[in-house]
């Protein structure tokens, strides 16, 4: 009873309230080319991210279960769990489920990472179906019952990013379809947490979906194959969402690998204890591992806590917590030993050990993070001392430094709440810090420290019994020291890491969207095209291309010199000779002058009777491509400048086939490409190229080797083998013959077959002879049968090989045709379409699928493949280039004028629009509101992308700075 009444002193230092929010100036982005195109400061407030931990009752949030742990202090109820923290008491061997739950920390990296996830559209083929996955079938999906219902409007909040979970909650039949998960993933990680559970929490995707995705990846399935042919297993997630799960899984694998590496290092050094090993296995982020490993890092000085432990003070520190009434510090004094010679040295050593224990305790870190989440944490940037010193002399080579500082003028005294800072602002601040121009600091309010210290002393680290005032002083000093030296830097690093990771992911997502829309621009078929690479002194390079992209003529004309009339006659002769009525002009130097030249000729009807029109296309990367080994191989005897003109023309004829030859980073998409992780950017861009090529489909008998290697399931080696097979045996007659290609095994065939097309018309045009040249050698057929156990490969065409239907579903497609009384000869006809529509309407897709022993998703693909016309191209629903006959200039613009244009590029702060005046205008992000967008575009990151036609209102024309500000009115369809 005596110990009950005489409790320890309560730490009651008053809390301060000085964390007022300070938003300075306009919140704008800073990039090398676009640093002055910036949004209004108001938009920073509308992009606020959800705070975690604001619910004091510990109630769970929608997306994740990780917020349930932080709770309000319960002084008498928390005593018992604390005993498990003391190293002497070994209670690690609990059941596996409990260990997993204890291992999952509601860290800021995890929670905020989920909160900032935005809904991203992969390839939307129908204006009515925002959530449908990219099939090759927009036509039929508008007439038959949907496999996946459109998400309700109230699931989207434009100001606050839509969360990832919204992509996966609406499964087709409302029930999960689970694969049998192997143990290889769990065994590979060897951590104390469940990989699937942590993966679900970090990505915001249901556990059963995560388990299926992990298993599909273990079985070497590609993302395009999963998104098209395994929809029911991934719950209709789009390609971007699946890729996010894949990246998160790779992060967890890297964390597990790092944990094992650190454990082995500590074991070699002889400092690995069971408690330390358990702490490393409980970490779910690299930041946590660094925090645990920091005191033991080789090369750093021996930490104060380790020195104190080597002096034998660890039992004393534990006794202060467990049995303070029996503790006598005087007994630990050893006058002849440094560090133990006085009472103050003993107390200091005990304090160091306690500070170290507090900083590594999971519950303590969780609680302090919950305090930060309920407070206004800000990030502040200012000019660094180094930059100021270099600016002052302004002599010699240092004259350029003030310009660099001026570039970051918006951030020389910038303060913003970490919950409201824009992604482009984070990247701009990071760039300034890397250039040593800015100094960045995370400001955590003092009241967090006060509340944290009070909680530690009175609740979490409260001694189990009466403690004398001098012992309580040691404990309080240890708590404050732990916060100052360990926890505060840990929190600051966590916020910086989280903000950077979030900004990088959003920037990469913007790159992905821009590249996807650029690649999927509708090709211009059936036209002879003149590609023009404009120039002044060296002339304009021209290339005339046939409708099939064959080079008919190349030349150089000098349209801006004294002999331009003679050059015009030369152009007219060439256009008459090749019946060319379409001109494509690159948007580089001399573009507008060249455009004006052609406009004047068109106005004068110089090319009559030809009805000539022109368009301007982005030539980014054309010069780099023109000197690449691939261009040399494709056009060996041609001048590199003329190759650029060929590339410019082909970008309109078939954007996908031409742009995949160029490094995605050189195509001119997005901003801040040098400020994000290059490995993540490369993986994302390569992934979206593979998706676009696969979803569009490739006619294998006429496509280039470069295009072929981007098909899901293929690579450079397999593409080369396919090309060699074609050279030796002639064109492919059906998909089954792919199995005869050396190096193309069953898995590769499964992944690529659905994306490869065999077009009979192409085969006839390629071989222009009898079937004798098309027969498959018997030797290869027999070899195939022997090695892979398949029957002889047929030399007959299969009409299904022209469709998106996968060979694994051919038998189902034939049974379906038999049910409705149709045949393969009717594919794409109105009669078959009407018959299928009637059958689906009367019986329902689910019932039909059940009768065929398949899934509704697979049957929908079969329906689409059977009803699409021959040669169907998903890109026909996407925008194509604008062809014009006249231009205007900036002088013709005035405030309030309404014009139409096409989006050329999007950044994190707005969209750039070409309105035909020689300079793109900017629509700031604050003007891109949901009421101005079609329903299917409201769940995208910025909701606009390259190639989209828009109607805009001119807000401001700055002739001096050559800038145009626009307001979005609507997206044109």
User: What is the maximal distance between C-alpha atoms in the chain?
Assistant: 111
User: CB of 241 within 8 A of CB of 119?
Assistant: no
Give the closest residue to 409 by CA, choosing from 442, 387, 377, 376. Answer: 387
Q: Is 200 found in the same domain as 234?
A: yes
For the chain, what percentages of helix, strand and coil (3-state, to nearest 5) are there?
50, 10, 40
Q: Is 913 helix (H, G, I), strand (E, B) or coil?
A: strand
pLDDT band at 554, cuts 50/70/90? very high
Average pLDDT over residues 55-64: 39
pLDDT band at 299, cuts 50/70/90? low
Does 411 map to a domain?
no
The domain boundary residue, chosen from 513, 548, 571? 513
Return phi, psi of residue 432, to 5°.
-60, -35
Average pLDDT, the chain: 77
Whole-number Å distance between alpha carbons of 633 and 380: 53
pLDDT digits (tens, 9 = 90+) for 515-533: 888 888 888 888 999 999 9
CATH of the domain at 278: 1.10.10.650
pLDDT digits (tens, 9 = 90+) for 258-296: 999 999 999 998 888 888 899 899 898 888 898 888 777
Whole-number Å distance between alpha carbons of 284 and 109: 10
Q: What pTM, to 2 d.p., does this model score?
A: 0.70
Q: Is 201 found in the same domain as 284?
A: yes
User: CB of 913 within 8 A of CB of 950?
Assistant: yes
* pLDDT > 90? residue 154: no
Whole-number Å distance between alpha carbons of 27 and 508: 21
The pLDDT of residue 188: 66
Of 338-352, 547-561, 673-687, the one with minimum mean pLDDT is: 673-687
Residue that has been written with the tokens 């999927």 in this structure? 520
**Eight-state DSSP code of residue 866:** H
* pLDDT > 90? residue 35: no
pLDDT digits (tens, 9 = 90+) for 85-101: 433 333 333 343 344 33
Does 537 map to a domain?
no
Query: Which is higher by pLDDT, 568 or 154?
Result: 568
Does 92 map to a domain?
no
Whole-number Å distance between alpha carbons of 467 and 460: 15
Q: Is 955 found in the same domain as 862?
A: no
pLDDT band at 393, cuts 50/70/90? low
CATH of the domain at 967: 2.40.50.140
- What are 295's two structure tokens? 């005191």
Q: CB-side exposure of 817: number of CA atoms within 13 Å?
A: 21
Does 434 map to a domain?
no
Q: Is 209 found in the same domain as 349?
A: no
Question: Structurally, how many domains does the chain consist of?
Answer: 4
The domain boundary residue, chosen from 243, 261, 294? 294
Does 314 map to a domain?
yes
Q: Is 338 found in the same domain as 470?
A: yes
Range of the domain at 285: 195-294
Q: Is 834 found in the same domain as 854?
A: yes
Does 344 map to a domain?
yes
pLDDT digits (tens, 9 = 90+) for 472-518: 999 999 999 999 999 999 999 999 999 999 998 888 888 888 888 88
Give the closest residue to 904 by CA, choosing from 882, 873, 876. Answer: 882
DSSP 195-237: HHHHHHHHHT--HHHHHHHHHHHHTT--HHHHHHH-HHHHTT-
Does 628 map to a domain?
no
- CA distances (Å), origin 741, targets 97, 725, 764, 798: 48, 6, 21, 19
Residue 688: count other Cβ atoms within 10 Å of its Cβ.
25
Q: Is 369 found in the same domain as 454?
A: yes
Q: Is 205 found in the same domain as 278?
A: yes
Q: Is 206 found in the same domain as 328?
A: no
Query: Which is higher by pLDDT, 601 or 300?
Result: 601
The pLDDT of residue 620: 85
Whole-number Å distance between alpha carbons of 72 and 54: 11
pLDDT digits (tens, 9 = 90+) for 416-472: 999 999 998 999 999 999 989 999 999 999 999 999 999 999 999 999 988 889 999
Query: Which is higher by pLDDT, 438 or 177?
Result: 438
Query: Which is higher by pLDDT, 796 or 882?
Result: 796
pLDDT band at 959, cuts 50/70/90? confident
Whole-number Å distance between alpha carbons of 261 and 258: 5
Q: Is 288 found in the same domain as 225?
A: yes
The pLDDT of residue 99: 40
Average pLDDT over residues 334-340: 88
Q: Is 860 found in the same domain as 955?
A: no
Of all residues in the chain, the percent with pLDDT exceeding 70 is: 74
User: CB of 309 within 8 A of CB of 273?
Assistant: no
Q: Is 349 found in the same domain as 214?
A: no
- What are 126's two structure tokens? 């129908």
Does 382 map to a domain?
no
The domain boundary residue, chosen from 294, 314, 339? 294
Query: Which is higher by pLDDT, 172 or 185?
Result: 185
Q: 907 has which bridge partners?
A: 910
């Amino acid at each position: 009873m005596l110990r009950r009444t005489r409790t320890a002193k309560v730490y009651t230092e008053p809390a301060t309230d000085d964390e007022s929010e300070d938003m300075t100036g306009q919140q704008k982005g800073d990039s090398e080319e676009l640093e002055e195109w910036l949004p209004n400061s108001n938009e920073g407030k509308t992009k606020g991210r959800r705070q975690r931990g604001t619910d004091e009752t510990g109630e769970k949030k929608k997306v994740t279960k990780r917020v349930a742990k932080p709770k309000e202090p319960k002084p008498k109820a928390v005593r018992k769990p604390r005993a498990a923290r003391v190293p002497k008491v070994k209670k690690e061997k609990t059941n596996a489920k409990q260990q997993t739950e204890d291992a999952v920390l509601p860290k800021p990296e995890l929670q905020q990472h989920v909160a900032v996830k935005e809904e991203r559209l992969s390839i939307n083929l129908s204006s009515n179906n925002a959530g449908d996955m990219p099939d090759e079938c927009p036509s039929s999906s508008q007439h038959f019952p949907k496999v996946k219902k459109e998400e309700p409007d109230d699931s989207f909040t434009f100001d606050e990013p839509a969360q990832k979970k919204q992509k996966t909650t609406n499964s087709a039949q409302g029930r999960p379809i689970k694969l049998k998960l192997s143990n290889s993933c769990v065994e590979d990680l060897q951590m104390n947490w469940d990989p699937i559970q942590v993966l679900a929490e970090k990505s915001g995707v249901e556990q059963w979906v995560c388990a299926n995705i992990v298993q599909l990846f273990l079985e070497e399935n590609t993302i395009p194959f999963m998104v098209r042919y395994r929809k029911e297993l991934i719950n209709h997630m789009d390609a971007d969402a699946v890729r996010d799960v894949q990246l998160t899984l790779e992060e967890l694998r890297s964390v597990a690998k790092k944990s094992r590496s650190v454990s082995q290092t500590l074991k070699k050094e002889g400092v690995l204890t069971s408690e330390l090993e358990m702490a490393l296995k409980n970490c779910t982020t690299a930041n946590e591992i660094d925090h645990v490993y920091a005191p033991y890092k080789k090369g750093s000085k021996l930490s104060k806590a380790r020195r104190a432990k080597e002096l034998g003070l660890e039992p004393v520190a534990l006794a202060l917590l467990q049995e303070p009434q029996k503790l006598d510090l005087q007994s630990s004094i050893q006058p002849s030993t440094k560090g133990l010679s006085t009472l103050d040295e003993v107390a200091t050593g005990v304090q160091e050990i306690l500070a170290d224990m507090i900083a590594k305790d999971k519950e303590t870190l969780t609680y302090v993070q919950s305090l930060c989440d309920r407070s206004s944490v800000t990030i502040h940037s200012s000019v660094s001392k180094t930059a100021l010193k270099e600016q002052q002399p302004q002599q010699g080579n240092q004259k350029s430094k003030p310009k660099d500082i001026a570039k970051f003028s918006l951030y020389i005294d910038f303060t913003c709440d970490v919950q409201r800072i824009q992604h482009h602002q984070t990247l701009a601040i990071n760039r300034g810090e890397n250039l040593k121009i800015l100094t960045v600091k995370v400001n955590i309010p003092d009241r967090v420290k006060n509340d944290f210290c009070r909680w530690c002393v009175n609740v979490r680290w409260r001694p189990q019994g009466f403690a004398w005032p001098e012992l309580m002083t040691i404990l309080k000093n240890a708590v404050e020291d732990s916060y100052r030296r360990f926890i505060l830097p840990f929190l600051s690093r966590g916020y910086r890491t989280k903000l950077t990771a979030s900004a990088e992911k959003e920037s990469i997502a913007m790159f992905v969207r821009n590249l996807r829309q650029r690649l999927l621009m509708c090709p211009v078929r059936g036209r002879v095209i003149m590609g023009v690479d404009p120039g002044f002194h060296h002339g304009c390079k021209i290339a005339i291309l046939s409708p099939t992209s064959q080079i008919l003529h190349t030349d150089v004309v000098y349209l801006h010199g004294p002999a331009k009339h003679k050059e015009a006659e030369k152009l007219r002769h060439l256009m008459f000779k090749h019946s060319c009525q379409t001109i494509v002009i690159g948007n580089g130097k001399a573009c507008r002058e060249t455009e004006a030249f052609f406009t004047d000729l068109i106005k004068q009807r110089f090319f009559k009777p030809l009805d000539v029109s022109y368009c301007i296309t982005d030539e980014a990367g054309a010069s780099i491509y023109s000197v690449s080994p691939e261009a040399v191989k494709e056009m060996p005897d041609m001048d590199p400048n003329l190759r650029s003109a060929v590339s410019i023309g082909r970008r309109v004829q078939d954007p996908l086939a031409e742009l995949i030859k160029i490094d995605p980073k050189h195509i001119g998409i997005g901003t801040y490409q040098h400020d994000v992780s290059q490995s993540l950017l490369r993986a994302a861009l390569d992934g979206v190229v593979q998706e676009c090529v696969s979803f569009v489909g490739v006619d294998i008998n006429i496509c280039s080797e470069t295009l072929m290697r981007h098909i899901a399931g293929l690579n450079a080696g397999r593409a080369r083998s396919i090309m060699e097979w074609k050279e030796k045996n002639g064109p492919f007659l059906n998909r089954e013959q792919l199995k005869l290609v050396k190096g193309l095994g069953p898995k590769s065939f499964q992944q690529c077959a659905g994306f490869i097309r065999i077009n009979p018309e192409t085969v006839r045009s390629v071989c222009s002879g009898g079937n004798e040249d098309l027969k498959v050698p018997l030797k290869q057929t027999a070899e195939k049968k022997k090695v892979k156990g398949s029957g002889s490969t047929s030399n007959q065409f299969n009409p299904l090989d022209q469709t998106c239907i996968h060979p694994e579903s051919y038998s189902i497609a034939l049974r379906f045709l038999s049910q409705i009384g149709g045949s393969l000869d009717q594919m794409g006809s109105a009669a078959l379409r009407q018959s299928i529509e009637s059958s689906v309407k009367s019986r329902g897709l689910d019932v039909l699928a059940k009768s065929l022993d398949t899934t509704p998703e697979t049957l929908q693909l079969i329906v689409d493949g059977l009803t699409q016309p021959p040669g169907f191209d998903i890109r026909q629903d996407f925008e194509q280039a604008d062809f014009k006959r006249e231009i205007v200039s900036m002088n013709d613009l005035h405030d309030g004028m309404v014009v139409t244009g096409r989006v050329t590029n999007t950044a994190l702060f707005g969209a750039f629009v070409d309105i035909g005046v020689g300079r793109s205008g900017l629509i700031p992000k604050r003007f891109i509101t949901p009421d101005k967008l079609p329903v299917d575009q409201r769940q995208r990151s910025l909701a606009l992308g390259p190639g989209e036609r828009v109607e805009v209102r001119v807000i401001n024309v700055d002739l001096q700075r050559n800038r145009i500000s626009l307001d979005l009115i609507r997206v044109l369809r």
